[in-house]
Structure 1
């Protein structure tokens, strides 16, 4: 049973806009030109996003390019500062504090100890000239580890889990294929045992066979470790395979949300219907 007590994170009325806004676009009834105010030209990358993520749940966020889903993920990982809204994390203090308002040091602590992030482009998640083992050690050191033997053991464990040959653990990711780079990113993100894992378009640009391997790995990790995950994709077929619940975003807003099976079987919004029909 899903209750308030088993929430991993809670996001309330989060927005990210670029511009000064005006009396027109601050009106809840305002009609924007997609995600831009026709009067002052303020761009709303995300607008009034609210959702909960339960312990052990995989939440999918689906939408076309420019829908705001990646901007939302960057705010959740503190890569971008929101314009408005609140963000509470159970692993930090039981969701009592809006973590958006914390100091940079406290946000780094949350990134290092509570959150894991896998970016669409591995360049943002890995140091390409460092070895795979060094990338994992960097994450472990940031979360407080100091014992070299212990860090090596953790690195071996997670590289093995994501099917990176240990004979290549000292190779830099720049020498790996795109699929292998994503798997090293996943190993790094998991290395500090985060209760929440954020995955942003992790299969985009990969060959179909490699996509299948990465998706199966994500499912296996969730089954074994019961990590709460947010999976962002423009592909509803991927969301269908992985996610318990789904939010559909368009022009910076959530236009539909619910249990994934319900959205697939009975989509309400015209855009969601278009997405669903595209995978039938």
Structure 2
């Protein structure tokens, strides 16, 4: 199979729940739940049987309202949370033959440092606000095994220039920056080790519209230049329309629609997706 026809990432039957479940909700009967919540025992089924593939050079969008499970899914993929069940395989990690979720904590750190980068909605989660911007990038490089100070400084400078952070501000901490600049530093840090996969979780939420546009333009430019595979999560279908090749729609922890972004926008099948598309018009 051609490399571009083979997924870079495959996720199979990912589940994440908060709570042990009970006889009432473990049956799998959807009607016994209030959305994704069990009224008897309080268990929340945040992600239910999520499966998808991500291909080389593809931008894959995940859209849904707050509480749909999309950010929980991203947290599970980056090992910020443990899954309840399921499998994930990266083609460039152990020939794509080993379930990432079954690996040790040490191996999961290796995967985070070499196979994936993540940009969080809240920059505080992705950056050390008191470190310099170039120091944040160096931290990620050191975690991946780099020790040459000159090489790390050169790499950091190149990346920060890529994301339009002025050279004169490279030694400044992100706490001095605007929200849009903080997101750009996060993007530079996430890309520091040339990961094949970049995870973007609500990266434009809370930013002014003009700043949103500049961050989205930057993501498009970098994706074209680096041919990196991106998963982008948003509650805003306009962001997904601008960036994503294919889109998955989530509601109450489940996938309710999945296909080419143009197809979903032009001919949505599920009533919830129809409402989303209508709100965009």
The normalised TM-score by structure 2 is 0.97
Please report how far the alpha carbon of residue 145 of structure 1 lies from its aligned counterpart in structure 2 after TM superposition: 1.0
Q: Any stretches of 5+ residues in structure 2 without a counterpart?
A: none
Distance 2:150 2:97 in 1: 37
Determine if the alignment matches structure 1 residue 179 to structure 2 residue 180.
yes
Please report how far the alpha carbon of residue 21 of structure 1 lies from its aligned counterpart in structure 2 after TM superposition: 1.4
Distance 2:234 2:45 in 1: 20
Distance 1:21 1:250 in 2: 20
Q: Any stretches of 5+ residues in structure 1 without a counterpart?
A: none
Q: Does the CA contact (< 8 Å) of 1:15 and 1:48 recur in 2?
A: yes
Aligned to 1:193: 194
Q: Does the CA contact (< 8 Å) of 1:14 and 1:48 recur in 2?
A: yes
Distance 2:174 2:4 in 1: 40
1:23-38 correspondence runs (5 A): 23-31=23-31, 32-38=33-39
Query: What SS does structure 1 have at the residue aligned with 2:222?
Result: helix
Q: Does the CA contact (< 8 Å) of 2:174 and 2:182 recur in 1?
A: yes
Aligned to 1:100: 101
Q: Does the CA contact (< 8 Å) of 1:86 and 1:98 recur in 2?
A: yes
Aligned to 1:163: 164
Distance 2:6 2:143 in 1: 27
The normalised TM-score by structure 1 is 0.97
Please report how far the alpha carbon of residue 39 of structure 1 lies from its aligned counterpart in structure 2 after TM superposition: 3.4
Quick one: structure 1 residues 131 and 98, their matched pair in 2 at CA, closer, same or farther if it must change by over 3 Å? same
Please report how far the alpha carbon of residue 89 of structure 1 lies from its aligned counterpart in structure 2 after TM superposition: 1.1
Quick one: structure 1 residues 3 and 192, their matched pair in 2 at CA, closer, same or farther if it must change by over 3 Å? closer
Matched length: 280
Distance 1:228 1:200 in 2: 14
Q: Does the CA contact (< 8 Å) of 2:113 and 2:193 recur in 1?
A: yes
Cα-to-partner distance string for 1:17-36 (whole Å, 9 max, x where unaligned):
11121233232333221001
Query: What SS does structure 2 have at the residue aligned with 1:94?
Result: helix
Aligned to 1:44: 45
Aligned to 1:215: 216
